[in-house]
Structure 1
């Protein structure tokens, strides 16, 4: 699917087979689709042999796009549901010669002034803002876990024989595990989605240099792919660049905050529905407080104080319950880690 125009976005997308897989299939796939108030963008890197890997990535993105565009509800919930549908599509086609196939996924929904990300595997998302490059995702891979434990350095991981071994992918089990998070956008932001065929060979200093160029997004994707090929092009390479041309208002819903690692799709949906219930309860308290003030004006101060107290207790209670649920799933006390890395 080719990039689609948008009044406040500029898009560039390029995928390449690489230098060492010339003549072979490209297991990477990417989409850039226009939405009424933004766009849907995604990169997938298939696994399981040439034919199976190519099928997995293509099938995942086709299902992701169709499910999201046909879905209802808030964009974060639709994105979770679309990732789960993509996971099942890959799993159901993993038969015969395609047994064991899977794919990574990094998906981005731009909804007005917000960016929503869904992340599975070791394809990455970066943000260039104010001259700084931030890595928005942490790889779901064996070497990434060794880096977090202090066993390997970044350089050792880049050249490790198991650098391509992912710990999470679509098609691995019936319930998709993903990271979901969102951030507000600013005019001048530049976002990069890429497969490890780019991030695995082009170091982040060069990514910063190339992304900082004032060229169009399409020109920058060519420079990124060329840089990966100049370093041997050992894998398929995909780069998708999104520029925020001008600022637009943010959506009204709360943006999802990152957890310390991937979570099952059904649990994420359950948590978000709990947040929707909290919003409903707070609106109800506001309504009845205002109604009480109007009906019993001589007690307006007391009613307003009571209503405010109930609202505060409701929010604190919900936050406490969410933390307890998260601690139970994580097996202990939750300590939130920084979710971006300055490069």
Structure 2
């Protein structure tokens, strides 16, 4: 999902963009429903907090509160928690097991506010080098962090699909959330595990380094993932920082 908002107050524009990848789980129908619901709920909450809440405040004659790093992070945390609560309620009511991993970022000014639940990833390409910004909440991710397996083993480990966090699994979801300063020339990529499991990081970096625009980068990444095996759903969002 890509959502770009711009609020203009006293001739000063305050643009913000939110970019999200949600990878559904629980079978085709449940997984598709979970990812769509997750994205819709997050978009609704972020729009309400960034646009509607300040308008209501100004309408009542009050001055809108100043926003800072912590405000933006709390907006995102609240949005993810809302989505999680709703999916948990649906699962309890329907006795279903729909769920979703989630990653993405909100860009405001020269900062990206990055969030992650599960094993979908957000990367940054800077000066032609690729950096994985998020941590995988998975068994293999934990094994790599503990030095028990090598990083390349995550692609072939028999339990590589076992994840520890997801949207819709437990009422109290833990969200990784942090701030990354961005510069012109940076490229941000959020993707499902269906992409990064099929394309190793050096090839991701090569594609991003040579793509003329974000749409071309997405198309080439998805095509390459499918050519390399395409064993899972492939989702990606790419943003070029100008």
Question: Does TM, scored on the shorter chain, surpass 0.5?
Answer: yes
Shift of 1:183: 1.3
Per the alignment, residue 270 of structure 1 pairs with: none
Shift of 1:38: 2.4
1:116 partner SS: strand
Deviation larger for 155-164 or 106-115: 155-164
C-alpha distance in structure 2 between counterparts of 1:236 and 1:148, whole Å: 26
User: Moved runs in structure 1, 4+ residues, more than 3 A?
Assistant: 95-98
C-alpha distance in structure 1 between counterparts of 2:215 and 2:145, whole Å: 34
Counterparts in 2 of 1:66 and 1:220: CA distance versus 1, 3 Å? same
The Cα offsets for residues 216-268 of structure 1, whole Å up to 9 and x where unpaired, read as 110111110111011110000011100111xxxxxxxxxxxxxxxxxxxxxxx
Larger Rg: 1
Counterparts in 2 of 1:114 and 1:147: CA distance versus 1, 3 Å? same
C-alpha distance in structure 1 between counterparts of 2:211 and 2:143, whole Å: 36
- Find the partner of 1:215 among 191, 209, 212: 212
Shift of 1:58: 0.7
Per the alignment, residue 140 of structure 2 pairs with: 143
Shift of 1:66: 0.2
- Find the partner of 1:156 among 153, 156, 180: 153
Could you list the runs of 5+ residues in structure 2 that have no partner in the other structure? 7-14, 54-66
1:177 partner SS: coil
1:231 and 2:231 correspond: no
C-alpha distance in structure 1 between counterparts of 2:32 and 2:92, whole Å: 15
1:41 and 2:19 correspond: yes
C-alpha distance in structure 2 between counterparts of 1:207 and 1:214, whole Å: 11
Alignment of 1:1-343 (within 5 A): 31-36=1-6, 37-71=15-49, 72=53, 74-95=71-92, 99-245=96-242
Shift of 1:76: 1.5
1:205 partner SS: helix
The Cα offsets for residues 173-225 of structure 1, whole Å up to 9 and x where unpaired, read as 11121111011111111100000000111001101100101411101111101
The Cα offsets for residues 132-174 of structure 1, whole Å up to 9 and x where unpaired, read as 1111011000111111122222222211221111111111111
Shift of 1:121: 0.3
C-alpha distance in structure 2 between counterparts of 1:186 and 1:90, whole Å: 36
The aligned length equals 215
Contact 1:44 1:61 in 2 (8 A): yes
Shift of 1:41: 0.6
TM-score, structure 1 normalization: 0.61
1:228 partner SS: helix
1:161 partner SS: coil
Could you list the runs of 5+ residues in structure 1 that have no partner in the other structure? 1-30, 246-343
Counterparts in 2 of 1:161 and 1:107: CA distance versus 1, 3 Å? same
The Cα offsets for residues 277-331 of structure 1, whole Å up to 9 and x where unpaired, read as xxxxxxxxxxxxxxxxxxxxxxxxxxxxxxxxxxxxxxxxxxxxxxxxxxxxxxx
C-alpha distance in structure 2 between counterparts of 1:98 and 1:144, whole Å: 30
C-alpha distance in structure 2 between counterparts of 1:32 and 1:98, whole Å: 31
2:45 partner SS: helix
Contact 1:48 1:98 in 2 (8 A): no
